[in-house]
Structure 1
Amino acid sequence: MGPRADIKVAESPWGPDDQLGALNHLSPEGSAAILARVDGTRSYDLSIDYFVGMPSFQAAGDPSYQLFMSHTPSGTVVDNMNGAGEAGNRHVCYSGDVVFMYTHTGTHIDSLSHFGVDGHIYNGFSAEDNLGSRGWTKGGAEVIPPIITRGVLLDVAKSRGVDCLPDSYAITVEDCKKVLEDAGITLQPGDVAMVRTGRMGFWPDGSKVLGNPPGLSLEAAKWLTSQSISAIAADQECVEVGPSQHEDNWLPGHCHFLAEAGVPMIELVNLEELSRDDVVEFCLIAAPIRLRGASGAPLRPIALPLRDN
């Protein structure tokens, strides 16, 4: 185990009531500017589909994804709960389902309430005053606005000439800078940096997708947030390298991004097609389900390539 991370909860520069953190870097003008550059003939779905048996965090005690039928065509005939009678229910085939899942399953975004330090989340909101029995009253998934901004692919795996980075490889500041320099791109305020390790190439093999992830070192995480990005994303389960390299914190990247920098984290994003087609810069459109008070929510990010200038 390495040195201490010494991460502290930050006060928001946008005021004591702020719950958006780095998402304040988004603006209508920025959204309009990137949308004006879109090549509408192609799109990339960066999400993964949900299915029973999919890799998730059961090992941490969280429930696996489950889908149950609450109504089926034949069952509706037997139940007749709607009172339509046998003939009516045989004529109208009714199906309905129930989903049960951990909010951090599959492609999802971590809200700022997900991780804190010493009982407080970003902007000093305390668990004592702001955490009820059914979720946080501050920093929940419902306050995350639609994200319409420039996405930038940091394809670290391709830059290092491998299909997938080795287990527990700690991505450095130099790795990030090299990818950007080779692409001729500079991160701008409001961008979403999307880091490719290559892990999603193994999906849905949970034995290869989850555990001992290659990911951002704390130094690289701090460098990226210093560029005024609005959110961070990666194609593995925690964005940061695992296990932790710091003796005082078992997920220092989470604590830095969420509690110290106010930067939401997007995890388990499928970046394989963007990498295959060498799409480095794009318009990103993404919005979570507005689960009030939740520490995270499913997300379906869409990447739209940009027209040649």
Structure 2
Amino acid sequence: MATHARPAGPPRLTAAEFDVLYRRLLSRAAWARGDRGALASLTPARVLAATREVRTGRTVTLASPVETLPGPDNPEPARHRMSVQPEDDTVDGLHFAMDSFAMNVHGDADSHIDALCHVIYDGTLHGGVAASSVTSGGAEALSVEVARNGIVGRGVLLDVPRLRGVPWLEPGDHVSADDLTAAETAQHVHVSEGDLLFVRVGHRKRRSELGAWHAANARAGLHPSALEFLAERRVAVLGGDGNNDTAPSSTEGVDFPVHVLAIHAMGLHLMDYLQFEGLAPVCETEGRWSFLCVIAPLRLPDATGSPVNPIAVL
């Protein structure tokens, strides 16, 4: 395993510094201001090119099982109710086992995708859409329905703990743009325009080995300045095995700076709390960190997000 000396870490951002960064990324992502945001870069030609990543036909899920038990990071777990009639299995004839689900899509445990209407910042949604378009009845614009035809493209996994020679990043640690560039070099892969970028911080591995904790208060993630890397490469989607944002926040007055920059300024659909513990060993064994990726959010026309199960096809 390659090792990479841990730098002192990116500095905290003042409110003024964050505003400068926000405006710079907003300007650089002007091409992604339509209803589909950065998904506009997933042209038919790029989707077709991504199919050439398939060599073995092996498929790997990037989602964790939906959790129905409460925990420190999941006080409102999904509710799963079974309905089996009749309960006496000796009764003859046809019967059905049925169930229903209810969940908090944007929690700190279950894998989900954030729509472009998820972040309201300074009174607007992505692209200057009025925040009033999101009401208790649903989102009138930029809902997850934007991705109703699926998100298909070349996925790239950058494994930062592998780069640093550790099993996971500790809560509060930051992934910098230099980390992403160094991971590319170490893994012999290059993030290109239209790619679906996945960044592993090891959140899931730490959780499985040490137990759940209050991830809302302490978690590893990207430093806001790392979004410069994504803007330069014009990626289409960002996914992480944590929340993508570090906690505590590195930015004065903004609790989720990466969400603000990625969704609001750059038009990126975010996927939070994925898991890469199945994919990373396969990539390591095969010596390649890119793959075809297929993402199919539920068709929830007015929703700010959806449970998600991305599939890597190698």
TM-score normalised per structure 1: 0.85
Deviation at 1:185, TM superposition (A): 2.1
Aligned counterpart, 2:223: 217
Cα distance in structure 1, aligned partners of 2:53 and 2:184: 20
Consecutive unaligned residues in structure 2, runs of 5 or more: 1-11
Cα offsets for 1:116-143 (capped at 9, x unmatched): 2111010111122x12331111110111
Larger Rg: 1
Structure 1 residues 255 and 53 mapped into 2: Cα distance closer, same or farther (>3 Å)?
A: same
SS for the counterpart of 2:278 is: helix
Cα distance in structure 2, aligned partners of 1:23 and 1:160: 31
Deviation at 1:75, TM superposition (A): 5.6
Deviation at 1:33, TM superposition (A): 1.4
Aligned counterpart, 1:94: 96
Deviation at 1:181, TM superposition (A): 1.5
Aligned counterpart, 1:68: 81
Structure 1 residues 297 and 15 mapped into 2: Cα distance closer, same or farther (>3 Å)?
A: closer
Letter in 2 for 1:261: M
Aligned counterpart, 2:42: 26
Cα distance in structure 2, aligned partners of 1:76 and 1:38: 48
Cα offsets for 1:207-248 (capped at 9, x unmatched): 286641111000012322331000001111x11211111112
Aligned counterpart, 1:104: 106
Is the aligned partner of 1:3 residue 2:4? no
SS for the counterpart of 1:72 is: strand
Equivalent residue for 1:258, pick from 255, 258, 263: 263
Cα offsets for 1:5-56 (capped at 9, x unmatched): 213695874587x211101000111111111331243111111111311658
Letter in 1 for 2:103: M
- How many residues in Structure 1 have an aligned counterpart in Structure 2? 288
Deviation at 1:291, TM superposition (A): 1.0
Q: What are the within-5 Å matches in structure 2 for residues 239-254 of structure 1?
A: 239-254=244-259
SS for the counterpart of 1:123 is: helix
Aligned counterpart, 1:275: 280
Deviation at 1:296, TM superposition (A): 0.8
Cα distance in structure 2, aligned partners of 1:228 and 1:241: 22
Identity of aligned residues (%): 24
Aligned counterpart, 1:197: 201
TM-score normalised per structure 2: 0.84
Q: What are the within-5 Å matches in structure 2 for residues 1-309 of structure 1?
A: 2-4=13-15, 5-6=18-19, 7=22, 10=26, 13=30, 18-53=34-69, 58=74, 63-69=76-82, 71-74=83-86, 90-105=92-107, 106-128=110-132, 130-144=133-147, 145-203=149-207, 205-207=211-213, 211-236=217-242, 238-277=243-282, 278=284, 279-305=288-314
Cα offsets for 1:67-103 (capped at 9, x unmatched): 112x3122699xxxxxxxxx9x741121111111112
